[in-house]
Structure 1
Amino acid sequence: MSQIRKDIEKGFESFAGVLIRYRFIVLILMLALVAGLGSFTRNLVMDTSTEGFLHKTDPALVTYDRFRDQFGRDETVILSLTPPKIFDQAFLEKLKKMHRELEDKVPYVDEVTSLINARNTRGEGDRLIVEDLLEDMPRNKEEMQALEQRVMQNPLYLNRLISKDGKTTNITIKTYARVSEARKDTQSLLEGFDEPETKDKPLENGRSGHTYITGAQNSEVVVAIKNIADRYRGPDLPIRMAGSPSVTHFLSSAVQQDTAFFVRLALIAIGTLLFILFRRITGVVLPLLVVAFSVISTLGLMALSGTSFSVPTMILPSFLLAVGVGASVHILSIFYQALNQGMGKKESIVHALGHSGLAVVITSLTTAAGLASFAMAEIAPVSALGIFASTGVMLSLVYTVVLLPTLLAIIPIKPKHKKAKANHHARMDGILNWISIFSAKRAKAIVLVCLVLTLASVAGFSRLTLSHDPLIWLPENSPVRLDTEFLNQVFDSSVNMEVLIDTGKENGLYDLAVLNTLDRMEKEVEAFKHGRFRVGNTLSLVDILKEINQALNENNPAKYKVPQNPALIPQEFLLFENSGSDDLEDVVDTSFSVARFSILSPWMDTVAQNPALDRLTKHFNEAFDGKAKVTITGMVPLLVRVMNASVMSAAESYILAFMVITFLMILLIGSIRLGVLSMFPNLLPIFITMGIMGWFNIPLDMYTMLIGSIAIGLAVDDTVHFMHNFRRYYFETNNVAESIRLTLFTTGRAMLVTSIVLCAGFFLYMFASMNNLFHFGLLTGTTILLALAADFFLAPALMVLAHKKDKPEASAQAAAQ
């Protein structure tokens, strides 16, 4: 194995010679590659929607898409207005004007609903009249009081269009599910004019038509609504905006702002650290150039593949900047060291690539393996992160071993004075020397302390909790978060759960038993509570039926119920359809076989929603057993699915990352025993971090679940460099302590700097506007620091205990002398 390693190192030296000989050709090819991939970055799109977290073939998303195809988009933007008095002439006129402006000026709008056009079903003689609530404005105090009474007594208005205390009213804005529907609605106004024929492009899911409303189009909608609301908002008229489209838009804005901010911050921080290490302009510019090319190429590949930029993948640019610079640091450290010791520049390049080339390749492979473990994740953006982060690391490897030596060969670089170098590194060498002596002499004590820390961390595991709530990712003072919390308190509703009742036969919903079950379920669901979960309102086919029945029975409130004469049911629905209203389309399909049952509930963590969803699913299945098939979809089930998929994906990625990286370590070291042993310094930091999370009540969410696989892929880099050099020096000296000392002296400084660079890259996320990134950055940075400590103390201690034939104390004393 030792001979194979030497042959590989010779191969890297020969490769360096080829790069030097054809440096200008290589440079042109590398620049062409970067320019080619970089040209695609302008096509990169953003997607922060809930459905964007799932793969297009995910059963939960397929079900949701079918629902949207039948009933349209269930997500709505909600504007909540709290005037001094709702039932006031001046306010109602303002509400009407605002309502019309929203209809006219907001793109992709399907329907705007408020007190202005709320459905008002009434009977007049033998006629059924379905009209807008405020088709005629109240003309006097008596009519205004009658309106107020009618609104406050209508169960369909309460907790949907007006709060139970009558102080706040809502405007809901529903967009089309597909762009084609919005265009079709616009084109219907142009009928009669000659237009060229157009054909819808096939969708990726196999249906014809245009794609669903995109993230960019959703943002257009939210921005247009916000601009209108801002014009009407005032000290006497607070207006709040909520709903999942609003949350999606503000998440997207935060992602774009934070991504640009972190890239700039990472460049400054990494550049500063590189200058402190090398005290050379080339030591700063060349590594940054290598990682910048890696980021540009990776983002170009993302755009080329049609992968969207999302919340998890927003860490990609600054992550690659921090991770990619490590390989350059190791090669440049050896290059400058050889150059300062009197080697020629070409010989120094050859020596540096021969010395560190294999270790750099292995570290890149282990890092990529840790990241690639996410590639099979059930969460689409996490899968994309695994694919493109690992791809970015490998691109960084290519640029490091090809472009970096090429640039070193082209750029004139002079050696530094040895005295200056000695003064610069004297203090660090002293620290590294002390670490080598301490770890050799106190090996058993170090291992014992690590075992105690492991036990304490395992105890913290039992306190870990799960969480998935995109709303709390935003700052506590974020307007959309405050507004959503307001709706939760006042209306008990801001997100939808949709239940589809499929009778499996045409006109199956004329069945009295099915309708009575729907009616009973409405009452039971509205009273349903489970933990923090509660229901604000429900809506289904029977609500319209009860309205019709009341209207046809002299508007008698006592007749607001399902008629028990089966013969009346199809007649009443036919009368409603003939009235000119199309509201039945929102709750039933054209064949009256599938009904929609909407449940409005507060926005909350999916951990609270999950058990409630399970109980509701069971309750619906039991209620309709033998009558209809029940399918539950909508935003709430999608959020729950994302949480469950995150847990499964994290568990699978941890196991896969551990297995692949352990195999690579065994391959590098050439010993199964030492390969497995070398994984302990990489696992301990993850155990400690998870323990810290448990003890400090930091939940496991989509981001903190990433820490394990990312950290093990990064932490193992230093272990690879340590073990690679330790084995080299141990074969030369047959002395454990001396091998540890030489290893830390040659590669310890680079290990320290690369770890500091990585920590800086992750700690930068603590400046994020999004709370989830704060915890991710803090915990991952802490894990990297712990991994460095483990490589400086635990790894040497384990090598001492693994090589018992050598006397560590004697050799440590010899090394100290």
Structure 2
Amino acid sequence: MAGFKNRVKEWFENFIPVFGIHTRNQRGGNKMPVGSGVKKKIELWFEAFGHLVYQYRWVSLILMLVLLGGLGTQLPKLTFDTSTEGFYHEEDPALLTYNEFRRQFGRDDLIIVAIEPTDVFNQNFLKKLKAFHKDLEKEVPHIDDIISMVNVRNTRGDEDRLIVGDLLEKWPEDEAALAALRQRVMSNPLYLNRVISEDGRFTTVVIKMNSYTSLGIEADALQGFDEAEPTASDRDSEAVQEKFNMGGEADVSIEESPFLTDKEKSAAVEAVQKVISRYQAPDFKLFCAGSPVVEQVAKQLMMKDQSRFVALVILTIGLCLLVMFRRISGVLLPLLVVACALVSTLGLMAVFKVPIKHPTMVLPSFLLAVGVTASIHILSIFYQSFKKTGDREEAICHALGHSALAIVMTSLTTAAGLASFATAQIAPIADLGVFASIGVMLAMVYTIILLPTFLAITPMRIKGRVGEPSSRTLMDRVLEATADFATSYPKGIIAVSLILLAVSILGASRLTFSHNILTWLPKGIPVRQATVKIDHELKGSVVLEVIVDTKRENGLYEVETLNKLEGLAREIEKINEGDLFVGKATSVVDILKEIHKALNENRPEFYVVPQDSKLIPQEFLLFENSGSDDLEDVVDSQFSQARFTIKVPWLDALRYVPFMDHVESLFQQALGNKATITVTGMMALMGGSVHAAIHSAAVSYVIAGIVITLMMIMMIGSIGLGLISMIPSLLAILLVMNIMVLFGFPFDMFTMLIGSIAVGLAVDNMIHLMHNFRRYYGETNNTRLAFRETFHTAGRALLVATVVLSLSFFIYMFASMNNLFHFGLLTGTAIILALVANFLLAPAFITLINRPALPAEKEVNHHEG
């Protein structure tokens, strides 16, 4: 017990002076702080802390396992969200606007199934289409509506009656009936590029999912009902409706009901794909596309890749550690430590209900690779000291005293670089910034506490004889030659680096941003091919929604407003900018023209907006009384808001931004102050993410640069050296940007992460080099000798850590998705370039700064020779 009190007293006395707080004895001058300088005091504090951990290793182990267990048990609650909406924060105005749109009009992200038969207007095909339609209704859950030629709205007049029914309500029995059907379909403007292609070769089945979730509703709402085999969509719709209509605990307003979950959307898409697989045939070619399908396929590929990559990263790290340490403990202990950090980080995400999204899917592999580097530095010194002295406790304390301070500093800078994304407007980027930085800090805590604990309790033997000097390896000779080269030619190295820096700045200015989930997918994958096919044959698979709000009840009964909407549709449908064209523009006006034509003997010349304002409400009323609820999809109940839908091809979101601005300006010019215009929908979310991502990248890079530079200035204690220390990081990032420009790689949601990751890791290298250089320079007072020793210790660990990190990121080059390939290749390259830049520039700058001392050094070097 007395020994423990002495340990605590030593630990306390070394810790307190670090922060400028002195005990009474210290103020009185009776006791001087142990060591000289803050750095020395912190190192001694870590040594004392090592004694404390060793003495109470089982207590430390239990405490760490309690922390791990508490967070690890939350992992089953972790969820996934790969939707376009998931790119936005819950309070983002764009998402709030889109949510209001969904509450009023339903979803606009449709599942589109295009069918290419031998002949659309053929008895056998129509029968198979009907069976396909019915199976979708029966088997696909969470469906609001399915539209195809089987049930698409057919509005017609019969004497003085308005009849609204299904297109194939009366089945064509002979060739004459089929010919009449063809003529009726191909002459209806509403059908073209909606359920039939302009050339009549393709037809579609359009699937609209429910707006709201049925989770937690279905069991209660359907209890006691024993219906005869309702369809999957019937069950969902009845469940949701029951919850909204029933009293008591089940009574919830639509505004409070949560939207369809990512899991439910996935279930719907998978069910559609399952039905498609049964019907796919040479005479019934099926192409399935739409944003829900693209998102689902992307999620499946990323989850498949991620599970594979975690295993490959662990294998890569294990092999590198085995080569470096040639001990089982040197492999297993770092992996255990970093696994604890990863489990804890993911557990925290589950606690705070933060789902895994597209960019955050790289988090496991990233933390495994980055987290293990701290263990490498500790183990490198521990094994050297353990072999030298044979004293396990002293080896642990020496390793902590030597490396723990640098590990804390590097963890802080890495976390700072990642935390710069915490303010990003793109939600998953912000999530990654927060939890990756937390993960890095957790890895630091586990490394400083749990790794020494493992070293204290793990059976271990000394390799060779105690005190036997280690033989010089090829790695040692290469590192020594690098130190000599960098200190011998400092001016040349710096000059070449500055030239590269200037050229790289010019090249990086040509970098362009991109956001296109479709291009993340392999070219040969069915959904990508289907999207291209549907865009070409049916003129689009993405929609822009424009909400026209007259701000007055029955404002959509006004002839002038309806005429303006019709004119806008004609003008917008003329837009054709190469690959960006408008395939269809629809609104309530189309339904009105359809009604007006039917009420005038189905004569084509009456497919117009009635110019008698008294007719408009009457015709709408007749339509509603016919039993159709289609008006609910395009107007609100007060006839004050109208939905205007514009269909375009799937393109890079960057292309949508000027298009949306142009469309909005057309509406403003046409309607002036008669209505307010709101642009929303899937396209608006995709386009809005471009500006948000560009802004987030710029802000994050600036924040990371400023924060890390200030930290380096404080750590090094010199403004000049602090600024100089950032040059290798900047050079590495700019060189990678030039590689992106050279090979045409996009600057997207994934590659934008490289800068902050690279700058944090590059600065880590500089911190370890400077931390060790100061130690050895104090012993030798010789720049070259100090860097030789630095490269023998820290340099060796940094080289192995860089190999581990770069290989861990290069593994992403085997990904199914192109964006992960680019991310892995470029991040791994940036890490290697950062190490090379640090190994050359750090000694070069320090050699020039210490130039007055060189004569003495030359004499020392001469005697060495």
Same fold (TM over 0.5): yes
Residue-by-residue CA offset, 1:683-741 (whole Å, 9 max, x unaligned):
11001111221222212111111110111011111111001111222233332222211
Query: Structure 2 CA distance, aligned partners of 1:286 and 1:427?
Result: 26
Deviation at 1:201, TM superposition (A): 8.7
Residues 1:468 and 2:518 are matched in the alignment: no
Shift of residue 811, structure 1, vs aligned partner: 6.4
Distance 2:456 2:56 in 1: 10
Structure 1 pair 718/539, CA: closer, same or farther in 2 (3 Å)? same
- Trace 1:731-746 onto structure 2 (pairs within 5 A): 731-746=778-793
- What is the identity, as a one-letter code, of the residue corresponding to 1:567? K
- TM-score, with structure 2 as normaliser: 0.91
- With 668-677 and 321-330 compared, the bigger mean Cα shift is at 668-677
Partner of 1:547: 594
Q: Which runs of 5+ in 2 are unaligned?
A: 1-17, 19-35, 222-233
Counterpart selection for 1:138 from 162, 165, 172: 172
State the 1:598 CA deviation: 0.6
Q: 2:632 aligns with which of 585, 593, 613?
A: 585
Which residue of structure 1 aligns with residue 28 of structure 2?
A: none
Superposition pairs for residues 285-304 of structure 1, below 5 Å? 285-304=332-351
Write the distance in 2 (CA, Å) between the matches of 1:12 and 1:444: 38
- The CA distance in 2 between the partners of 1:352 and 1:62, in whole Å, is 53
Q: Report 1:359-370 matches (<5 A).
A: 359-370=406-417
Shift in Å, 1:265 = 0.4
AA at the equivalent of 1:327: A
Number of the residue aligned with 1:609: 656
1:95 partnered with 2:117 = no
Residue 675 (str. 1) matches residue 722 (str. 2): yes
User: Structure 1 residues 192, 683: closer, same or farther in 2, change over 3 A?
Assistant: closer
Aligned pairs for 1:390-429 within 5 A: 390-417=437-464, 425-429=472-476
Moved more, 75-84 or 423-432: 423-432
Q: Secondary structure at the match of 2:114?
A: strand
Inter-CA distance 705–188: structure 2 relative to 1 (3 Å threshold): closer
1:220 aligns with 2:270: no
Which residue of 149, 152, 163 maps to 1:129? 163
* Distance 1:659-1:136 versus aligned 2 partners, 3 A rule: same
Between 1:475-484 and 1:420-429, the stretch displaced more is 420-429
Give the aligned partner of residue 107 of structure 1.
141
Q: Percent of aligned pairs with the same residue?
A: 51
Letter of the structure 2 residue corresponding to residue 129 of structure 1: I
Tell me how far apart the structure 2 counterparts of residues 321 and 626 of structure 1 sit (CA, whole Å): 57
> In structure 2, what is the equivalent of residue 28 of structure 1?
62
Residue number in structure 1 paired with 2:505: 458
CA deviation string 1:569-592 (max 9, x = no partner): 111111111111110001000000
| Residue 79 (structure 1) aligned with residue 113 (structure 2) | yes
Distance in 2, matches of 1:188 and 1:248, equals 24
Alignment CA distance shift 1:754-1:100 (3 Å): same
Q: Are residue 237 (structure 1) and residue 284 (structure 2) matched?
A: yes
Equivalent-residue separation in structure 2 for 1:815 and 1:338 (angstroms): 29
Matched, 1:338 2:372: no
1:148 to 182, 202, 209: 182
C-alpha distance in structure 1 between counterparts of 2:721 and 2:236, whole Å: 71
Residue 369 of structure 2, aligned match among 318, 322, 327? 322
Determine whether 1:199 maps to 2:249: yes
Would the alpha carbon gap of residues 811 and 668 (structure 1) be closer, same or farther in structure 2, given more than 3 Å must change?
Answer: farther
Q: Residues of 1 paired with 2:625 and 2:679: CA distance?
A: 31
Distance between the aligned counterparts of 2:94 and 2:390, measured in 1?
Answer: 63
TM-superposed deviation, 1:498: 0.4
Partner-residue secondary structure (3-state), 1:147:
helix
Q: Is the 8 A contact 2:82 2:358 kept in 1?
A: yes
Over residues 751-775 of structure 1, what are the superposed CA-to-partner deviations in whole Å (9 max), with x where a residue is unaligned? Answer: 1001111101111111111110100
Alpha carbons of structure 1 residues 235 and 672: separation in structure 2 relative to 1, 3 Å: same
Query: Does structure 2 retain, via aligned residues, the 8 Å contact 1:437–1:813?
Result: no
Which residue of 331, 345, 368 maps to 1:284? 331
Structure 1 counterpart of 2:512, which letter?
A: T
Select between 430-439 and 726-735 the one with higher mean Cα deviation.
726-735
**Cα RMSD over matched residues?**
2.0
Q: Deviations over 1:591-634 (max 9, x none)?
A: 00000001111111011111111111111111111211000100
Greater shift, 616-625 or 801-810, is seen at 801-810
Q: Out of 299, 306, 319, which is 1:252 matched to?
A: 299
Relative to structure 1, the CA distance from residue 754 to residue 67 in structure 2 (aligned partners, 3 Å threshold; closer, same or farther) is: same
Larger mean CA deviation between 802-811 and 341-350 belongs to 802-811
List structure 1 segments (4+ residues) > 4 angstroms apart after TM superposition: 180-185, 187-193, 195-198, 200-203, 418-425
SS at match of 1:143: helix
Alignment CA distance shift 1:710-1:782 (3 Å): same
Take 2:650 and 2:860, find their aligned partners in 1: how far apart are those partners?
61
CA contact (8 A) 1:162 1:168 kept: yes
SS in structure 2 at match of 1:626: helix
Per-residue CA deviations over 1:490-513 (Å, capped at 9, x if unaligned) read 112111110000000000001111
For the 8 Å contact 1:735–1:811, the answer to whether it is kept is no
Cα distance in 2 between the residues matched to 1:252 and 1:693: 25
Counterpart amino acid of residue 34 in structure 1: L
1:563 to partner: Cα distance:
0.7
Greater alpha carbon shift after TM alignment, 620-629 vs 577-586: 620-629
Match of 2:620 in 1: 573
- Structure 1 residue 49 corresponds to structure 2 residue 89: no
TM-score (norm 1): 0.97
Corresponding position of 1:716 = 763
Any idea what the Cα deviations from partners look like across 1:62-99, whole Å, max 9, x if unmatched?
00000000001111111111110000011101111111
Report the CA distance shift for 1:200/1:469 in structure 2 as closer, same or farther (over 3 A): farther
1:447 aligns with 2:481: no
Between the aligned partners of 2:194 and 2:860, the Cα distance in structure 1 is 76
Q: Residues 123-163 of structure 1, C-alpha deviation per residue, up to 9 Å, x if partnerless? A: 11111111111001111111110110110111111111111
CA deviation string 1:355-407 (max 9, x = no partner): 11100100111111011111111011110101110000011001000000011
Of 818, 823, 828, the match for 1:771: 818
* Aligned residue in 1 for 2:858: 810
